[in-house]
Amino acid sequence: MSTAGFDVLGIGNAIVDILVHADDRFLVREGLEKGTMALVDAKRAGELYEKISPAVECSGGSAANTIAGLASLGARGAFIGKVCDDQLGRVFRHDIRALGVSFETPAAADGPPTATSLVLVSPDAERTMQTYLGACVELGPEDIREDQISAAAVTYLEGYLWDPPMAKAAFLKAADMAHGNDRKVSLSLSDPFCVDRHRIDFVDLVSNHVDILFANEEEIIALYRTEDFDTALQAVRGHCEVVALTRGAKGSVVLAGDEIYIVSAKPVDQLVDTTGAGDAYAAGFFFGMSQNNDLARCAHIGNIAAAEVIQHIGARPDRPLKELLEAKLGAA
């Protein structure tokens, strides 16, 4: 991947997270499905916001979190996503650029405000997200630039992009453009309900367009509607060059050709907030690939990055992951 200007270009919803503690009674009372992401309109987002405790605001977005993590590890990242030119849009732009990420997508001058996701963190560290897409619905094919795609070894797309209507076309344009430039295409399945919403399309994408796939246990089961993880694993096998499947505390399983790597995750000291665990895993995995590590080591670095973000509130690293990785692995 060394000839590319960017190790990974991420394309995703540009979101500012509103992080708040909430107990299970609140989730039940509001009819929220614990552990998942649901889309809400501006009215419902406003109603829920009125009901929650004091919160903290922090840049988020799945692919954006991955690119932030990748940059924090010391690799070269770029991001395409749509904010509005408002206060939260400037927060999002600042936070990703401050890591050295190239983020040049023009902000929408008017229209809906920057997207926000109400991230309800349960006492058991599970998170439940209610996302108002806002300006993300303005992302379209015109935001996909060939100079950026061709400069990136991997173009990484989040499944959530299938939700805003025009972003799907941007997604497909980017994937075609990447392959046309002999670059890799990677996809994260994002969320089991997101998989349910777009299952036929996602099966086709995985079979025909994706080189590197990320999914967790629930998502890969949802994709193939299987009874269990092992059956889903057999179903996805052979469809992509690399498939990295995360299983929470059980670690991850990586498939590549005939090879299967099972990489365990170490228990963490204090599990606080699982928001962004999968995003950080992908960041570590991509970083490993950018350094030409074998896939088992890529998964191991993914686990280290994920372990950092689940030990504090918020989806992005609290400290430079580069320093953490050096401390864990010694000098590279």
Task: List residues binding a copy of itself (CB under 8 A).
Answer: 21, 49-50, 52-59, 68, 86-88, 91, 94-96, 98-99, 113-114, 314, 316, 319
Reduced 3-state DSSP string for 122-156:
CCCCCEEEEEECHHHHHCCHHHCCHHHHHCEEEEE
DSSP state of 322: H
Nearer to a copy of itself, 134 or 251 (CB): 134
State the Cα angle at 191 between 187 and 195, rounded to 5°.
75
In our burial notation (b when 16+ CB lie closer than 10 A, e otherwise), range 149-159 reads bbbbbbbbbbb
Question: What is the full DSSP assignment across 151-200?
Answer: TEEEEEEEGGGGSSTTHHHHHHHHHHHHHHTT-EEEEE---HHHHHHTHH
What region does 108 belong to: left with phi over 0, alpha with psi -120 to 50, or beta? beta
| Smallest distance from a copy of itself to CB 14, Å | 14
| Smallest distance from a copy of itself to CB 317, Å | 9
Phi first, then psi, for residue 297 (nearest 5°) are: -70, -35
Nearer to a copy of itself, 192 or 317 (CB): 317
| Smallest distance from a copy of itself to CB 56, Å | 5
Nearer to a copy of itself, 71 or 174 (CB): 71
Nearer to a copy of itself, 21 or 237 (CB): 21
In our burial notation (b when 16+ CB lie closer than 10 A, e otherwise), range 163-201 reads bbebbbebbbbbbebbeeeebbbbbbbbbbbbbeebeee
Nearer to a copy of itself, 77 or 113 (CB): 113
What is the amino acid identity at position 162?
A: W
| Smallest distance from a copy of itself to CB 316, Å | 6
Phi first, then psi, for residue 225 (nearest 5°) are: 50, 50
Nearer to a copy of itself, 192 or 314 (CB): 314
Nearer to a copy of itself, 116 or 290 (CB): 116
DSSP β-ladder status, 242-246 and 252-256: antiparallel
